[in-house]
Structure 1
Amino acid sequence: MSKQPVFALIDCNSFYASCERVFRPDLAKVPIVVLSNNDGCVIARSYDAKPFIKMGEPYFQIKHKLKQHGIVPFSSNYALYGDMSERVMTVIESMVPAVEIYSIDEAFADLTGIDGLDALGRNIRAQVLRVTGIPVGVGIATTKTLAKLANHTAKRLQSQTGGVVNITDPAKRAWVLRNTDVAEVWGVGRKMKLHLDALGIKTAMDLAKADPWALRKKFSIVIEKTARELAGTSCLELDEPDPPKQEICCSRMFGKRLTELPPIKEALATYMMRASEKLRAQGSLCKKVRVCIRTGMFNPEEAKYANGVVVDLPYPTDDVRLLTKAAVDAVDHIYRPGFKYNKAEVMLLNLCRPGEYTDDLFTVSQPAQATRVMRVLDQINGRWGKGTLRSASVPMNPDWGMRREMMSQSFTTRLDQLWSVACK
């Protein structure tokens, strides 16, 4: 007889804000918000900032509120957050048999057949905090949906639970289900809550007891599986690694409007550098490149223009030099003077794995030397940090870059910004 599956969801608490606090211990008890690209709107809040600031509020509208409540704003520092996420996931992977990284700040773990689940949950939490400085909540249950619910309870009742909740016991599971609004269930959105309310389904327990076949007929198989999972029947397994992407896109808004062609070409070269890293990371080659530029579309006082072009490459490649040349040459055909451009995009198309494309005897293929150069490039940047080596057309600190006036240092990814401690 097979053992009952057991899952854990390990979720970082207010992840972006927690990353900022790791290297700013003086902000341990100070509320924090993190802003989107170009310091646009709030995308993350520490727990103590949530009563005062809503998600998505534009920064320029809430400056007075931040000051009034002593809330410290940060520009988004994705290099820091990405690296800290990798460190958190590495710790988790070292402590459990199998992991599905669900997002930048949460992962499912397979704990089937493991004894001492509560102790393991507390150990994971303590080890992640000790190694990375990031606090996490751990929810343990017999299905992924219940593990999500247990994790939510662990955070909601932090002082009572210590950040770890195990509801593999039926009595504890029933208590959590009875005391959780159906809106808090994974996969139940605002619109679905209204439909469920109309059926008298107001708590997670109500949904667990509902007829799954009736839910499937009235709504979808997704809600049916959610109800079954809440009732203790596992319908969702740990996902296999994602297959290689068929398209790779890198798109950014400029920190200011651009009217001249040279800085636009610099931006395209920068975006291509990032896109080609993703391409090589999944072991693919690219056959076509699409380049787009556009102006802002919402200012009635600015003339509007958008255009794109697709370029065929001479052979499938992952060589950033060839890809960059194709992109910067292509923009000559779509650039028009007299417009204020605010965004550019590069997209790698017709991706394939080496050996998956068929050529005739005389077709040119990527030189072996280029493959070796790209391997060395990635090894150096992997060891010393992204951008240590880059294309000559990629500037170091462009004035068109994203506006991030309140960004913290890249403490873990740049040698010149390492954390320093002064001894007195």
Structure 2
Amino acid sequence: MPVFALVDCNNFYASCEKLFRPDLKDTPIVVLSNNDGCVVARSREAKLLGIKMGVPVFQIKAEMQRHGILAFSSNYALYADLSSRVMRTLEEMAPRVEVYSIDEAFLDLTGIESAISLVEFGQQVRERIGHWIGITVCVGIAPTKTLAKLANHAAKKYLATQGVVDLTNPDRQRRLLALVPVDDVWGVGRRLSKRLNALGITTALDLANASPRAIRDQFSVVLERTVRELNGESCIELEEIPPTKKQIVCSRSFGAKVTHFELLREAVCEYATRATEKLRKEQQQAKVLTVFIRTSPFKDNEPQYSNSASGELLIPSCDTRDFIELANHLLKRIWKDGFRYTKAGVMLSDFYDPGMFQPGLFDEVSTRSNSQQLMSVLDTINQSGAGKVFFAGQGTKKDWSMKREHLSPAYTTRWDQLPRVK
């Protein structure tokens, strides 16, 4: 029988912010979205105070003052680095690991129970990650990935479990399924649960007891797999190698309205640069670039405008210079004076593995000399934390940058912001 574990970091973004601030151990904190707009993460203390996910921060300012809730801007570099450390630790402890999201991973524990009890192994995972990295995790263990998700949910909810739940026993599975609303099942969600509720399926146990064939006929083969997984039949394999992306999007809302072409051009160049960095990380090349711009859809008293344009390179590339040049050309096509722009972005698509594109017989193809070596040097410098090299088109002041007034230091990725112990 296969055995899966789902390891999930508790309140991950908030935990990252508290990690280097021991003075905030019991302080309620929230992490904000781009431009410090909405709450996207909450510490346990903030949750107990009733702070809801996604609520605009201006609506809870009074509550934040009353309860001493601190706000932090999203520090993506910090979260990504700590996530990488957690995943590397898990890869040392399990033979096969699927990184499911920035704070979750599935582990293949098949056969490990012959050497150590599954609960004891789960406790070892918690202890090692807590000791080595400082992040608290919960572990759900079960014969299918869907049941492992539910086991992890129970490990977080019920303190008596001490953060580890083993659901390999069928009787324990049934007892837990009876307590879980059907919309908490992995892959169901609120919209689908309404249709299931209309059929009298309100709990995970109701869904497990449903006929797989009838569920497939009325809904989909995906939901049929969920029914089978709830009954202990493994239908969803572990994906050790993530599927290749089909597109890369980089966009941000501006911290202030943009009315000048040069400022918008800087932003588009910045996004094109970030997108191609991600492209190289995927070891891919792209042929198509799309640029899009828009004004605020929420300002009824202002003129509205949005547009996009796509362009294609003669041959696929991962050279930032090629996409900056194309992005500037596309932006000129869609730019219009007299508008207050609030967002822009780029999208890369039509991906190829390096060396796999066959140009046309009569295409005049020329590539930049030493392109690969130059991009490799740029990436090495920019990822070292010791310095930053950028293209002039990205600008220096970046007055359009998104608002991040509560940004914590880059504790682990920049030498000049390392935490100091006095």
TM-score range, shorter chain: over 0.9
Structural RMSD (CA): 1.9
- 1:32–1:45 Cα contact (<8 Å) kept: yes
Q: In structure 2, do the counterparts of structure 1 residues 270 and 204 end up closer, same or farther at CA, with 3 Å as the change threshold?
A: same
Among the aligned pairs, what percent are the same residue? 50
Q: CA deviation at 1:240?
A: 5.0
User: Aligned partners of 1:55, 1:315: CA distance in 2, in Å?
Assistant: 44
User: Aligned partners of 1:286, 1:185: CA distance in 2, in Å?
Assistant: 37
User: Aligned partners of 1:275, 1:98: CA distance in 2, in Å?
Assistant: 29
Q: Who is 2:333 aligned against?
A: 333
> What stretches of structure 2 of length at least 5 have no aligned partner?
none
User: Aligned partners of 1:251, 1:392: CA distance in 2, in Å?
Assistant: 19
User: Aligned partners of 2:174, 2:276: CA distance in 1, in Å?
Assistant: 50
Paired amino acid for 1:22: L
User: Aligned partners of 1:375, 1:391: CA distance in 2, in Å?
Assistant: 15
Q: Who is 1:192 aligned against?
A: 192
Q: Who is 2:90 aligned against?
A: 92
Paired amino acid for 2:205: M
Q: Who is 2:420 aligned against?
A: 420
User: Aligned partners of 2:290, 2:219: CA distance in 1, in Å?
Assistant: 39
User: Aligned partners of 2:67, 2:78: CA distance in 1, in Å?
Assistant: 26
Paired amino acid for 1:276: T
Query: Which range is displaced more, 142-151 or 343-352?
Result: 343-352
TM-score, with normalisation over the residues of structure 1?
Answer: 0.93
Paired amino acid for 1:123: Q
Q: Who is 1:145 aligned against?
A: 146
- 2:289–2:326 Cα contact (<8 Å) kept: yes
Q: CA deviation at 1:314?
A: 4.7
Aligned match of 1:31 in 21, 28, 31?
A: 28
Paired amino acid for 2:349: L
User: Aligned partners of 1:79, 1:137: CA distance in 2, in Å?
Assistant: 23
Matches within 5 A, 1:78-89: 78-89=76-87
Q: CA deviation at 1:154?
A: 0.4
Answer yes or no: is 1:104 the counterpart of 2:77: no
Q: CA deviation at 1:62?
A: 1.0
Paired amino acid for 1:342: T
SS in 1 for 2:93: coil
Q: CA deviation at 1:384?
A: 2.8
Q: Who is 1:69 aligned against?
A: 67
- 1:316–1:365 Cα contact (<8 Å) kept: no
- 1:316–1:366 Cα contact (<8 Å) kept: no
Q: Who is 2:379 aligned against?
A: 378
User: Aligned partners of 2:246, 2:219: CA distance in 1, in Å?
Assistant: 31
Answer yes or no: is 1:241 the counterpart of 2:241: yes
Paired amino acid for 2:373: R
Matches within 5 A, 1:145-224: 145-158=146-159, 160-224=160-224
Q: Write the deviation string for residues 298-329 of structure 1: whole angstroms up to 9, x where unpaired.
A: 20121112223333335432111222122124
- 1:292–1:346 Cα contact (<8 Å) kept: yes
Q: In structure 2, do the counterparts of structure 1 residues 179 and 373 end up closer, same or farther at CA, with 3 Å as the change threshold?
A: same
Q: Write the deviation string for residues 369-406 of structure 1: whole angstroms up to 9, x where unpaired.
A: 11111112122223337x72222322455221111111
User: Aligned partners of 1:53, 1:362: CA distance in 2, in Å?
Assistant: 59
Aligned match of 1:18 in 15, 19, 29?
A: 15
Query: Which range is displaced more, 103-112 or 289-298?
Result: 289-298
Aligned match of 2:39 in 25, 36, 42?
A: 42
- 2:97–2:107 Cα contact (<8 Å) kept: yes
Q: CA deviation at 1:273?
A: 1.2
Query: Which range is displaced more, 135-144 or 261-270?
Result: 261-270
Matches within 5 A, 1:54-65: 54-65=52-63
Query: Which range is displaced more, 394-403 or 32-41?
Result: 394-403
Q: In structure 2, do the counterparts of structure 1 residues 334 and 178 end up closer, same or farther at CA, with 3 Å as the change threshold?
A: closer
Q: CA deviation at 1:199?
A: 3.6
Aligned length: 417
> What stretches of structure 1 of length at least 5 have no aligned partner?
none
- 1:143–1:236 Cα contact (<8 Å) kept: yes
Paired amino acid for 2:293: I
Paired amino acid for 2:269: A
User: Aligned partners of 1:216, 1:91: CA distance in 2, in Å?
Assistant: 39
Q: In structure 2, do the counterparts of structure 1 residues 398 and 220 end up closer, same or farther at CA, with 3 Å as the change threshold?
A: same
Matches within 5 A, 1:128-143: 128-143=129-144
Q: Who is 2:277 aligned against?
A: 277
- 2:28–2:43 Cα contact (<8 Å) kept: yes
SS in 2 for 1:11: strand
TM-score, with normalisation over the residues of structure 2?
Answer: 0.93
Q: In structure 2, do the counterparts of structure 1 residues 233 and 350 end up closer, same or farther at CA, with 3 Å as the change threshold?
A: closer
- 2:96–2:240 Cα contact (<8 Å) kept: no
Q: In structure 2, do the counterparts of structure 1 residues 353 and 89 end up closer, same or farther at CA, with 3 Å as the change threshold?
A: same
Paired amino acid for 2:44: Y
Q: Who is 1:231 aligned against?
A: 231
